[in-house]
Amino acid sequence: MHSHELVQQLDIIAAENLGAHLPAHVVAQLPARGVTVFAVSDDASDTAEFSARYGFGLEDCANTIVIRYRKEGAEHYAALVSLGSLRLDINGAVKTALGAQRLSFAKREAAVEHSGMEFGGITAFGLPDDWRILVDAAVMERSQIVMGAGVRAAKLLLAPEVLRQWPRCEVASLTVAPE
């Protein structure tokens, strides 16, 4: 199946209807071009189920993970965007990229509260201004990726180039190949 056939099968949400489907702060930060928003059924929102049902490989599914870290005596949050097929090197590359003294995955409740998004649907767009957003270099090698859209019932389809051109995005090597 070719990618254009896949796109034809997707339940595309028109730009003028995004406000009815996505959190307002996500819509406000979405790039005007290059992002296709489509509806997914809630039971197929998690990466593995989504991949199986919609025909996108895990290597094209980018997860946005919220972490909490300590730097210069203060607590901070950051978002990490990485492919479903790779493993984040949390205590090595990620820690170094953030200059963190210590870090951990944010608790589910904290991630939801601070992002204003649904758990399992958190996306890089619309996060608080003081968060750093790190995108794994491997994401940039894909021709297109699927990301969360702020809610479990929708996803974003975009070329990684859209992230590269977005001022908040920092590209860094954050992952190791799965063992």
User: How much is the average pLDDT of 147-168?
Assistant: 95
How many C-beta atoms lie closer than 10 Å to residue 141's C-beta? 10
pLDDT tens-digit series, residues 20-50 = 999 999 999 999 899 999 999 877 877 788 8
CA-wise closest residue to 170 among 131, 113, 121, 117: 131
Q: What pLDDT is recorded for position 1? A: 45
CA-wise closest residue to 81 among 28, 145, 21, 155: 145
Which structural domain, as residue segments, surrounds residue 17? 3-176
Could you give the number of structural domains in the chain? 1
pLDDT tens-digit series, residues 109-119 = 999 999 999 99
CA-wise closest residue to 88 among 142, 124, 135: 135
pLDDT tens-digit series, residues 105-143 = 999 999 999 999 999 999 999 999 999 999 999 999 999
CATH number at residue 55: 3.90.960.10
∠ CA 68-58-137, nearest 5°, is 55
